Structure 1
Amino acid sequence: MEYTMEDLQRQLHHLRMSETSKELPSFLRKAETQSWTYQEFLRELLSYEEKRREEKMIEKHLKWAKFPYQKSIDEFNLRELPSLSERQLKQLKEMSWLDESFNLIFLGPPGVWKTHMAIGLGLEAIYKGQRVSFVSMGELLPLLKMEEFLRKSQLKLKRIREADLVIIDDLMYMAMDQNEANLFFHLINHLYERSSIILTSNKGPEDWGALLGDQGIATAILDRLLHRSEVLHFEGASHGIKYRQTLFQTESVQNYLTVTISFISPMFSLFYPYYTLFNSF
């Protein structure tokens, strides 16, 4: 029985090898010109399909993660964060903490790259085949409150609950009412020992009770978050201010910026204290 190229491509597509189906003519030409053996031809064909499936899975997981931007760990300037050693950074990149369902809590004032580090680790997790979901606290609370009514909220929260790594950005940036605190607790309780969580916050855990409005709920949340966790402190003034760019280059404007930055820097240390819970990894 004679098979046409279209017949072979249709069979590959039926076997869900759609990427290989598209490239089959190219592989056949290479096999002829390079005198591949049957084994070589089959290995090249399957290796290509495997590679494309991995690439498509990464593309899908990146889309599902909903990162506000993409910054890799390699773009992180370790000299800007003296509280984190090179050894600790390597440990984080190895992602063994994710396999053990450890949580990471990044504390520090605004603008010290807590979110950058969280996104970088999220990207590393995706490249290792893990499902990641990123959500800010400002987005999460409305999702939780509208889950019962909106299909869109249900789908987003389903992906969050099924993720291997959940990144919650700007935790406790504002106070919650009792209903919001209860909903947040139930989410954390569901993720407990099922997924790893990365939290970024400019407030220490000792302040969370007041922001949650219920010390009992705060204790229950902390119990689950801190049971298996590492708390890392990001120090220094805002890098957004330090490396800010301006449209104006006149001397008067530059002098104004210098004075402004000099005034703001000590204000961060006054109004955004952070607290050491653990000294090292």
Structure 2
Amino acid sequence: MSHSIEEIQQQFRSLRLTETANYLPSLIQQAESEDWTYQVLLKRLCGYELKRRDEKLIEKRLKWAAFPSYKTLDEFHLDEQQSLSKRQVNQLKEFTWLDQLYNLIVLGPPGVGKTHLATGLGIEAIQKGYKVSFVSMGQLIQTLKTEEVTRKSQTRMKRIRSSHLVIIDDLMFMAMDTREANLFFHLINDLYDKASIILTSNKGPNEWGELLGDPGITTAILDRILHRAEVIHFHDDDSYRMKHRSSIFME
């Protein structure tokens, strides 16, 4: 019997049903002990394969998203952010805005949880079947500048352009030269009406022109980003990081 199971396992692997092949001995043992019908056995086999494929796809997409850390919305201290209600967070988690190609602009000083919120929404989106890319502004500009010459940058930009949701962290953290501003505009133009964008920044849109330099490029970028956008502005004076920092001193 064990030899027959091994043969069936190999056949499953030939059909690229690797997860089912690995799980088969345990499943057959359970089927025999619980007197499953053939129909129940087949249903369990198919269900297990689909479940594992979904889990592996999520694992792959989490890796490709390149989040700086794994911070979920459940870990976000909503009670310390007066600018955002639990109801609003629940609405964001429904991702109607993503289906409608709305953008989110998350503004506020450093340390108030902008990146955590963006990352948490990104992780939640992946769990619900969306493709997500996370990139800091500095990384994005460097990748855009090297896209024509390195395969790594080409692969990264291909994933970004094929994402349903693109998270750009620390937007306008540094001033851009004309070439960088043009590259950024073309990316925003590529994503327009094809993906949603979450932007985090400590500067409001009215200040972006100073860093982009060219008024024409600034207007074009703002036009595409703000066409359909929701702005979340964290006003907390107390830094989120300061509240939850670790200490070397005993209480």
TM-score normalized by structure 2? 0.96
Q: Runs (4+) of structure 1 moved beyond 6 Å?
A: none
Q: Tell me the alpha carbon deviations over residues 89-118 of structure 1, each in whole angstroms, 9 at most, x when there is no partner.
A: 110011111111111000011100000000
**Matching residue of 2:45:** 45
Give the structure 2 partner of residue 200 of structure 1: 200
Equivalent pairs counted in the alignment come to: 248
Q: Distance in 2 between matches of 1:163 and 1:13?
A: 30
Alignment of 1:79-228 (within 5 A): 79-228=79-228
Q: Deviations over 1:200-259 (max 9, x none)?
A: 000000111111000110110011101111011012121222333332459xxxxxxxxx
Question: What corresponds to 1:273 in structure 2?
Answer: none
> How far, CA to CA, are the matches of 1:23 and 1:85 in structure 2?
44
Task: Tell me whether 182-191 or 90-99 shows the greater mean CA deviation.
Answer: 90-99
Q: Secondary structure at the match of 1:247?
A: coil
Quote how far apart the aligned CAs of 1:7 are: 2.4
Query: Equivalents in 2 of 1:177, 1:242: separation in Å?
Result: 37
C-alpha displacement at 1:6, in angstroms?
Answer: 2.5
Structure 1 unpaired stretches of 5+:
251-281
Q: Does 1:9 align with 2:31?
A: no
- The answer for the alignment partner of 1:247 in structure 2 is 248
Structure 2 gaps of 5+ residues are none
1:77 Cα shift? 1.5
Deviation digits for residues 175-206 of structure 1, max 9, x if unmatched? 10000000000000001111111000000001
How much does 1:168 deviate? Answer: 0.3
Cross-structure match for 2:232: 232
Q: Secondary structure at the match of 1:83?
A: coil
Identity across aligned pairs (percent)? 61
Question: For residues 156 and 9 of structure 1, what CA distance do their matches in structure 2 show?
Answer: 36
Give the stretch that moved more between structures: 153-162 or 70-79: 70-79
Per-residue CA deviation, residues 98-149 of structure 1 (Å, 9 max, x unaligned), is 1111110000111000000000000110000111110000111110001111
What is the distance in 1 between the residues matched to 2:235 and 2:89? 15
**SS of structure 2 residue aligned to 1:130:** coil
Structure number with larger C-alpha Rg: 1
